[in-house]
């Protein structure tokens, strides 16, 4: 199980490529609603505090490919660990967060 807890990042370039060629992954943006509405790349906005309280209510399959994102990659890493501990098997954290993503797309 340790392999799921550590080293489960996806780079901004890898995510950009996956988004351009596939609809088979889910994005969860764990920033607060105001941050999400200021700038986002799609996905579902579930702030970290809400996610931690509502893990049992998520409608994702435990084997779905999920990428969690936030501004810098810190809150999303916490979210990734929460999802893995709840039994989700294919969860990645956007390394460097949306700041890294914006650098390669602007």
Residue ranges of domains in the chain: 2-105
Q: Which helix (H) or strand (E) holds 77?
A: helix 74-85
pTM exceeds 0.75, yes or no: yes
Q: How do residues 7-60 score in pLDDT, each as one tens digit?
A: 599 999 999 999 998 778 999 999 999 999 999 999 999 999 999 999 989 999
What distance in Å separates the CA atoms of residue 4 and residue 81, rounded to the nearest whole number? 8
- How many other CB atoms are there within 10 angstroms of residue 61's CB atom? 12
So which residues are the catalytic ones? Answer: 70
What distance in Å separates the CA atoms of residue 89 and residue 66, rounded to the nearest whole number? 9
Whether the per-residue pLDDT at 2 is higher than 50: the answer is no
Give the angle 6-76-40 at the CA atoms, nearest 5°.
140
User: For residue 3, what pLDDT band results from cuts at 50, 70 and 90?
Assistant: very low
Q: In the CATH hierarchy, which fold is given to the domain comprising 2-105? A: Oxidized Rhodanese; domain 1 (3.40.250)
What distance in Å separates the CA atoms of residue 75 and residue 70, rounded to the nearest whole number? 6
């Amino acid at each position: 199980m340790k392999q799921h807890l550590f080293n489960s990042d996806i780079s901004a370039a890898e995510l950009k490529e996956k988004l351009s060629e596939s609809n088979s992954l889910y994005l969860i943006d764990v920033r607060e609603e105001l941050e999400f509405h200021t700038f986002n790349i799609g996905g579902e906005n579930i702030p970290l505090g809400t996610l931690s309280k509502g893990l049992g209510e998520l409608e994702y399959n435990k084997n779905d490919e999920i990428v969690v994102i936030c501004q810098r990659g810190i809150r999303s890493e916490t979210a990734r660990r929460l999802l893995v501990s709840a039994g989700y098997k294919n969860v990645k954290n956007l390394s460097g967060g949306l700041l890294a993503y914006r650098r390669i797309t602007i």
